[in-house]
Amino acid sequence: MGKNLHDTPMLDQLESGPWPSFVTGLKRLANDNDMMVDLLGQLETSYETRKGYWKGGTVGVIGYGGGIIPRFTELLDDNKEPLFPEAAEFHTLRIMPPAGMHYDTNTLRKMCDVWEKYGSGLIAFHGQSGDIMFQGCTTDNVQPAFDELNEMGFDLGGAGPAVRTGMSCVGAARCEHSCVNEQKVHRMLVNAFLDDMHRPALPYKFKFKVSGCGNDCMNSIQRADLATIGTWRDDMKVDQDEVKAYVADKGRKYVIDNVITRCPTQALSLNDDDTLAVDNSNCVRCMHCINVMTKALSPGDDKGVTLLVGGKRTLKIGDLMGTVVVPFMKLEDDDDFEALEELAGEMIDFFAENALEHERTGEMIERIGLINFLEGIGLEVDPNMVNQTRTSNYFRADDWDEEAGKWNERKAAG
Ligand code: SF4
């Protein structure tokens, strides 16, 4: 301990703006941790030369095939010794967060203590992967650090071509919009596919995300291979007295401009007596009106989930949003949860057998066609599946009645 800070003129500039800077945080950690002093040195070099100087390698803990992101410095002097020796090994432990990201302060303090003892002190809650990122650890300290975190009840998350750390929103604990037991879904999926998390054996990553309503606070549509999103299928609940109070407070123009006209399917209208009329058959459960008029409106009672597959950020064929494959399913009793687990298992098996190396579920579906994917996992085609919203008002509906008739016959036949 006690190394002097390197000169970091470029990083210092990042502290000059109006927002809190990560550089200030790193410098604070550097007061007691030489690893952080040298990390700042390496980072400054990267800013000067516009190059990254980390390379990967193989670091793990006993019994796991993933979960550690190895980082070794490439900045060496003429004798092939690290230029910043204290940060020469700067590995990251990806630890799975609790469902809904619920912690108590005692747990957070213990985590900080573990990381001050074995690592750089730098923790990210939570990385894009969903994990708690314990950043900056030497190879020797990886196993003892993990052992202590494991002793607290935490487990390593996925890295590489594996089922990745799941995420669920805070849910009913703090949110009145919750339509499903998010934590139970999350926990069930993690427990069911733990082997696929610990031992990467898939063509590429597979992510579960669980959001309790259409607000989708987990961004599961954009980034989950299987997104589970809470919704309802009966009528939304309307407290007309609260609607009137809202209109009295904000005025009719405000309500029309900010609620009625912003409904994407024009399912709302404001009556002359300042009550609200909702055309529930045209409501697509987007949550906008409920978000604005939280006291007056709320989801209905017949709650369940919508399942979407294939969301992901940019890879080979650009960004993909998830496609609805199950418009609505109940998730209440054990049988419902078992059905979801079974379907998720079918998807992972199909993905394992049919995806190309480094290909996400969405890309695989684009390549082989949605119908083949649905057949492969044993799902009936349903007119309520939405791949892409219609963007043109002009379309031909020839044969639609006939096709709808066929679907209804299949449905009736069970
Ligand atoms: Fe319209 Fe969305 Fe409200 Fe449904 S939830 S009525 S689609 S604004």
Whole-number Å distance, alpha carbon 278 to ligand 1 midpoint, is 8
Phi, psi (rounded to 5 degrees) for 120: -85, -15
pLDDT recorded at residue 227: 96
pLDDT tens per residue across span 128-177:
788 999 999 999 999 999 999 999 999 998 788 999 999 999 999 899 99
Residue 387: band (very low, low, confident or very high) from pLDDT cuts 50, 70, 90 = low
Q: Is the CB of 284 under 6 A from ligand 1?
A: yes
How is domain 167-233+304-412 classified at the CATH fold level? Answer: Sulfite Reductase Hemoprotein; domain 1 (3.30.413)
198 Cβ below 6 A of ligand 1:
no
pLDDT of res. 302: 97
| pLDDT score at 329 | 95
Q: Are 136 and 146 in contact (CB under 8 A)?
A: no
CATH of domain 9-151: 3.30.70.2500
237-298: which CATH architecture? 2-Layer Sandwich (3.30)
pLDDT tier, 1 (very low <50, low <70, confident <90, very high otherwise)? low
The yes-or-no verdict on residue 383 having pLDDT over 80 is no
Q: What is the dihedral of CA 342, 344, 349, 351, to 10 degrees?
A: 160
Q: Which of 255, 261, 289, 294 to mutate to test the pocket of ligand 1 (most atoms within 8 A of CB)?
A: 289
Question: Is the pLDDT reported for residue 44 higher than 90?
Answer: yes
Min mean pLDDT across 280-284, 314-318, 324-328, 365-369 is at: 314-318
Domains 167-233+304-412 and 237-298 in one fold:
no
% of the chain at pLDDT higher than 90: 81
User: Which backbone phi and psi does 328 adopt, to 5 degrees?
Assistant: -155, 130
Nearest-atom index, ligand 1, CA of 286? 2
Q: Where are the alpha helices (DSSP H) in 55-168?
A: 105-118, 139-151
Burial group, residue 327, by CB count within 10 angstroms (0-12, 13-18, 19+):
middle
What is residue 388's three-state secondary structure?
A: coil
Residue 408: both structure tokens together = 């209804």
Q: What is the pLDDT of residue 255?
A: 97
Beta strands in 68-118 (DSSP E): 68-69, 72-73, 92-95
Residue from 235, 237, 279, 285 whose mutation best tests the ligand 1 pocket (most atoms within 8 A of CB): 285
| DSSP for 173-211, written as a single string | GT-TT--S-HHHHHHHHHHHTHHHHHS--SSS-B-EEEE
287 in contact with ligand 1, CB cutoff 6 A: yes
Ligand 1: residue whose CA is nearest its atom 6: 283
**Could you tell me the pLDDT band of residue 401, with boundaries at 50, 70 and 90?**
confident
Whether the predicted model's global pTM rises above the 0.85 cut: yes
Nearest CA to ligand 1 atom 3: 289
Q: Give burial (CB, 10 Å; 0-12/13-18/19+) of 398.
A: exposed
Mutation choice for ligand 1 from 265, 291, 297, 298, CB with most ligand atoms inside 8 A: 265
pLDDT number for residue 404 = 82
Q: What is the pLDDT of residue 180?
A: 96
Residue ranges of domains in the chain:
9-151, 167-233+304-412, 237-298
Nearest CA, atom 4, ligand 1: 283
